[in-house]
Structure formats: C-alpha cells, structure tokens
Amino acid sequence: MSAMSAGRSALRMGPAELVQAAAMARRFYLEGKSKIQIAEEFGVSRFKVARVLETALERDLVRIEIRVPAELDAERSDALRARYGLRHAVVVESPAEGEETSPDPENLGEVAADLLGELVSEGDVLGLAWGRSTIHMAAALDRLPPCTVVQLTGVYDAGTAERGSVEAVRRAAQVSGGEAHPIYAPMLLPDPATAAALRNQTGIARAFEYFDKVTVAAVSIGSWEPGISTVHDMLSDEERAHYASLGVAAEMSAHLFDAQGRRVGRDLGERCITVEADRLRRIPEVVAIAGGQRKAAAIDAVLRSGLVTSLVTDTAAADFLLGETGPKPRPALNRADPDGV
C-alpha cells in the first residue's frame, strides 16, 4: 500500500464509528452534555470522547459557524477592544457614502441601546450625558431592567429639553420603570458663580447626589470643530481660539482633552453643569458612543484619558483607530487619572 493510500485509509471511518461520532457530537454541541457525561453513557473514557469530537470536526461531520448580524464587524470589534484594553468594543458598519446625515449615525444609538440592555442590571443607576448619540440611543431603547436614570450634564439649549437629554432620561426611565432625575439647566453658563448657584438648586442638587451612585453611564464624544462638538458651538470665537491654543483634540461632557488624553482647559468645567471627570472615572462602566472619520482622532484621545471602559463606533472610525502607529495606549480599564498624566 502506498503512503497516499495509507493516508486515505487512516482518514476513512467505518459506519459504526460514524454513527458513534455523530451521536457524541449531538450530545456535546446540541444537547450541552459534558464530555464526562458522554463518556459514561457510551462506556468510554473522556479522552476518547475528546478525540472523537476532534475527529468529527476534522472529517466535516460537524461544522461550527460563528455568525453575527451583518451590521456588526466582529473582527474589528475584537481588535479594537484589545488595542485599547476596553471591556467592550462594538463596531458597526458605517453608512454608505452619502447616506450619513449626522456626525453620529442613528444605527450607533440602536446598537448602544442593545448593549445597555446587556450591561444594566436591576437596581443599577444609569447616567446619561448630553449628545446626539445618547439621544438616538434612548429613543431606540426597548428593554432595560428596573433602574434609576440620572442626567449627567445640562442641556445644549434649555429650550430644546423636550427633544434632548431631558427626554432621553425620561424615555430610559419609562422603559425601565425606574425613577428619572433630569437636569433642567443649560450645560454652559456665563460664569462660574452662575453655575455654582444653579448646582445648589434643589432639583439639580438632587441629581448631582446620584452621580456617586451611577454604575453604568453613556456618553458622547465630540471633535473640536463646528457641528461636531456642542460645547465648541456654544462658545465665542475668542474662547474657541483660546482652548484650541491649549491643544484641544476632543470634548466629552464639557471636559476637554489633548491628543494624548490629558485634560486641558479645566476652567471651562467651572462654568458647566456636568459630572466631574473624577466622578466619571469612578463609574464602573462608561460607554462612549461615537463614530465617523471626523471624530476618529477625538475618540482616540478620549480612550487614552482613562475615563471610558467601552465603545460603540463604526468601521470608518475603527479603521483609523486600528491604523494608528503612535505609542500604544495604556489599557482603558486602568482608569488612569487624566489630570495626573
């Protein structure tokens, strides 16, 4: 017998072997039985079961398919999670060219809504910061365990509260059946004294009391350019130029970051109604929702800050983030202090 014929003979399984392998594979893959249970049933060792299952895969008796919905990119998601040391990274397909109508496509919010459904447990306190993506996310929520929902920032414009973060908080609380703690105040005030006075108002102070209890938060990210950061758009030309001179690359919840994730322009926070950076860092799970090429560098900066643990983004931003050749970022789960970098 030639070597080739011997090889084919070795690969051939008799009918009894085929039937046994198929039965064992059914027990293991479809019925969820352990190798020890299967070994006891068939009167063989668990090592024999392991060899049979391995052979069943090699001979194509069993085919294992890893399937995720078409809009999710599992490979990029895992690569992004590993590169930045994130707890979760979910990458969705970017809209086709010409279809993107906003800096954060609605499909990011829809996927983030599903992710929150996984991450939030009964009794948690969910924090929502202002942002187009978080508003899209709240609108897409259809399941959420009973939890308290608190607003983490003031609104972009108090006159649009019904369509913005206040409504997002109400919507999330309605879906979960929990309490809602909205903030009826602008995000940016003319001066620190006015901001301090508002923080002491009863309703706003009550919301702030929940900040230390937040277990899961959803935040948006903005680039320092018109239409991509609401904070940028709220400032005067002179103020924008001032913060740009400090090297601002990104904005999140009215906190500004340079390209290395260091917090800059901290005086701006004194004029804002927003969760403090140190409180954000203590929240166990902070999910950032942002995508698109125009936000990619800003996302990189915020991920380097240590304030975010998970990310929902799109393929356009992911390709930029995975193609970065600079110093590898520290693991996001280290929760580094952006003021101590």
Measured CA angle at 130 (ends 127, 131), to 5 deg: 120
Contact status, residue 150 vs residue 214, Cβ threshold 8 Å: yes
Average pLDDT value over all residues in the chain: 85
Residue at 64 is within a domain: no
Q: Given this model, what pLDDT does residue 9 score?
A: 37
pLDDT band of residue 324 (cuts 50, 70, 90) is confident
Q: Given this model, what pLDDT does residue 162 score?
A: 43
Contact status, residue 147 vs residue 170, Cβ threshold 8 Å: no
Q: Half-sphere exposure (CA, 13 Å, Cβ side) for 256?
A: 24
Q: Which residue has the higher pLDDT, 68 or 62?
A: 62
Shared domain for 34 and 100, answered yes or no, is no
How much is the pTM? 0.77
Region of poorest pLDDT, from 147-161, 163-177, 191-205 = 147-161
pLDDT band of residue 161 (cuts 50, 70, 90) is very low
Q: Is the pLDDT of residue 12 over 90?
A: no
Q: Is the pLDDT of residue 318 over 80?
A: yes
Q: Is the pLDDT of residue 273 over 90?
A: yes
Region of poorest pLDDT, from 130-144, 221-235, 275-289 = 221-235
Q: Is the pLDDT of residue 309 over 90?
A: yes
Percentage of the residues of the chain whose pLDDT score is greater than 70: 88
Q: How far apart are CA 52 and CA 42, in angstroms?
A: 12
Shared domain for 249 and 297, answered yes or no, is yes
Contact status, residue 106 vs residue 133, Cβ threshold 8 Å: no
Give the residue-averaged pLDDT of 206-215.
95
pLDDT band of residue 16 (cuts 50, 70, 90) is confident
* CATH number of the structural domain spanning residue 33: 1.10.10
Shared domain for 154 and 295, answered yes or no, is yes
Contact status, residue 254 vs residue 165, Cβ threshold 8 Å: no
10 Å CB burial of residue 98 (0-12, 13-18, 19+) is: exposed
How many residues in total does the chain contain?
Answer: 341
pLDDT in tens, 227-260: 777 788 888 889 888 988 999 999 999 999 999 9
Residue at 5 is within a domain: no
Residue 28: which domain range? 15-59
Q: Given this model, what pLDDT does residue 340 score?
A: 62
Q: Is the pLDDT of residue 60 over 50?
A: yes
Please give the tally of structural domains in the chain. Answer: 2
Residue at 1 is within a domain: no
Element (H, E) at 202: helix 202-209
Residue at 172 is within a domain: yes
Residue at 108 is within a domain: yes
Q: Given this model, what pLDDT does residue 62 score?
A: 84
Residue at 2 is within a domain: no
Shared domain for 100 and 53, answered yes or no, is no
Q: Given this model, what pLDDT does residue 158 score?
A: 44
